[in-house]
Structure 1
Amino acid sequence: MKDMIRLSARQYEDLLKLVYLGNFLVNNYRSDRPVSRFDDLESYLFALAKDYGLAQALDMDAETGTVYPSREFSQTEELNEFIDDFIDNSFWDELVQRLTGRDLNRKHGQEAVEAMNWEQLREIEEPIYKRYASEVEKHGLENLEIINRRAS
């Protein structure tokens, strides 16, 4: 037997926000191959929004009957701020991680790095990571340059 979850209108609105943000994370860049089960779940949950007094949160495709988040819902300052913060933090973290990995592989070789246990790796990785993290925190991209090391 399935248990019912009782939610206040506020909790349901927050659930819709989480579902929207999660589906955005998974499917935003997958226009050619979306994870349809997440689209379907989002559509299902948004279709119930009227029951919680949140009709403004949904729009419907007249041809297919598919329910999706309305522009009014999805373009709120709050959701845009969450998305922008995620993208910004992901960018900087990924940049620092990749630069750190590159330097480790250059200095020790990829095979040696892959053979290290977690403690060994952390010991040599941490100072490199901290150096890059400090640099991008202080200066952003200002001091980042592309140098062509390959002779043409």
Structure 2
Amino acid sequence: MNFRFTDSEVHTLIELLSLATLVAEWNQSTAFQGKMASINALENKIFEYLLHAGYSDVIEFNEPEQRHQVTEDFEKKSSYMLCYDEFRQESFWEELVIRLADRDLAKRIGFDAWNILSEEQRRVHTVELEKRLWKEFEKFGVDHLHLIHPPHEG
């Protein structure tokens, strides 16, 4: 199999591969670790090829880790880290809002009733609460979040 890429397309491919690997690394399940090893091996193989094809300004070999990686300069200049940071931020806030809304819904209707609802049904029941939470977090971040431990704990 042969592909022909322009320099611009190679840079986009490197960003795409780097971003995909960063996102995949979030999956910490033991069942996924074999797949993650395959992803890392493929990334390394492609990066090694690119290094030997003359992309030493973009790809380098990390001797201590024995793997190929993007150069620090490329990482700073490219947009994939900005995309990754935005993904992490949005994932955090969305997950926090959904979990808090689900917690409150389960308290209100009971866990058994909550448990039989589909994800879509839960969202219908929590839409107003989620809107309020989004407004709160957009305005104050986590500043107003406090853990309240039950008596005699924490």
With the shorter chain as reference, the TM-score category is 0.7 to 0.9
- Paired residue for 1:108? 109
- Paired residue for 2:47? 46
Q: Which amino acid aligns with 1:27?
A: E
Shift of 1:64: 8.5
Tell me, yes or no, if the aligned pair for 1:59 and 1:67 is still in contact at 8 Å.
yes
- Find the residue that maps to 2:57 and give its secondary structure: helix
- Paired residue for 1:140? 141
Q: Which of residues 17, 24, 49 in structure 2 aligns to 1:26?
A: 24
Spell out the pairing of 1:13-92 with structure 2 (5 A cutoff).
13-27=11-25, 35-50=36-51, 53-62=54-63, 66-76=67-77, 78-92=79-93
Tell me, yes or no, if the aligned pair for 1:12 and 1:52 is still in contact at 8 Å.
no
Deviates more, 1:52-61 or 1:80-89: 52-61
C-alpha separation in 2, matches of 1:17 and 1:76: 11
In structure 2, the CA distance between the partners of 1:119 and 1:83, relative to structure 1 (3 Å rule), is: closer
Q: Which amino acid aligns with 2:17?
A: V
- Superposed CA deviations along residues 85-105 of structure 1, whole A, max 9, x for unmatched, are 122112111111111111111
What are structure 1's unaligned runs of at least 5 residues?
Answer: none
Deviates more, 1:9-18 or 1:72-81: 72-81
Shift of 1:28: 6.5
Q: Which of residues 2, 10, 14 in structure 2 aligns to 1:12?
A: 10
Aligned residues: 148
Shift of 1:25: 1.8
Shift of 1:20: 0.6
What RMSD, in angstroms, separates the aligned Cα atoms of the two structures?
Answer: 2.9
In structure 2, the CA distance between the partners of 1:20 and 1:106, relative to structure 1 (3 Å rule), is: same
TM-score (norm 1): 0.79
What are structure 2's unaligned runs of at least 5 residues?
Answer: none
